[in-house]
Chains A and B, each alone.
Chain A
Amino acid sequence: MTLAVIGGTGFGAFAGLTETKDHVVETDFGQAEIQSGRLAGQGILFLPRHGMPARFLPHKINYRANLKALQMLGASQILAVTAVGTVSEDLSVPCLVVPDQIIDYTYGRALTFFEDEIHHIDFTHPYDALFRAQLLAAVAKVAASDADVQAVLSGVYGCTQGPRLETKAEVRRLRNDGCSIVGMTAMPEAALARELGLPYAGISVTLTQGLAWLSAILL
């Protein structure tokens, strides 16, 4: 079993990884940059989805090359780490959220490996049930051992196109749709993993209380 970690914003390098080796993997869909190494004696793969150094905006990430390259290097499970804003007012910052559902608001991204054949994956539950259960157990154990750790064990990830932040009305729509967090990279990543048969689960870190609020402050 080889765990692959896809790092998001702020997680472009993996401190603590030993015996690291950099790979540039050529796939039918383009190139991917992956680092292999060992963590606590176990071999893992690390893919910083924004590149190493970070340079790819969410809509410019080559999700197909990334997922295919992880498969080629022997990944058997994928943990996707994402930085998100909160939509639900109940979520604190920072907080770990293990989403169980996704709503896809993206457009124009290369979203399937099956360009020339009719193929419909079952995506009722976008995250792998077994791997997600293992992840939930790990999160629960960490939260139980450290009272400072804030964690929520379910949530709906609203995946927006970016790179701009959302308008106030868009955040209101996300809330009305039932989203609890908002980010820009879960899709088509999760669906492509499913197409390849790779168990995929996500863990998100909340950074702001609503991206519209962030936009109002920063811009």
Chain B
Amino acid sequence: MAERDIALAEIHEAMNQGLSWVKLVLAELISTPAV
């Protein structure tokens, strides 16, 4: 169970980090005139 908790925590951390990057990309994308 402890291993599972650690793995889930790591996945959530990766997800939050990754999605914060996606939002930066999105902000950049919509700031370009072509979109």
Contacts and interface: CB of A to CB of B under 8 A. Distances in A.
16 contacts: A1-B35, A10-B16, A11-B19, A40-B27, A81-B19, A96-B22, A141-B28, A142-B25, A146-B21, A203-B22, A203-B25, A205-B18, A207-B18, A217-B3, A217-B4, A217-B7
Secondary structure at the B interface, as helix, strand, loop or mixed, is: helix
B24 A146 contact: yes
Given A39-B27, A142-B25, A10 B19 contact: yes
A81 B25 CA distance: 11
Secondary structure at the A interface, as helix, strand, loop or mixed, is: mixed
Interface string A128-157: 000000110111011000100101000000
Interface of B: 3-4, 7-8, 11, 14-19, 21-32, 34-35
Contacts, number: 87
Interface of A: 1, 3, 5, 9-11, 16, 39-40, 42, 44, 77, 79, 81, 83, 93-96, 134-135, 137-139, 141-142, 146, 149, 151, 203, 205-208, 214, 217-218
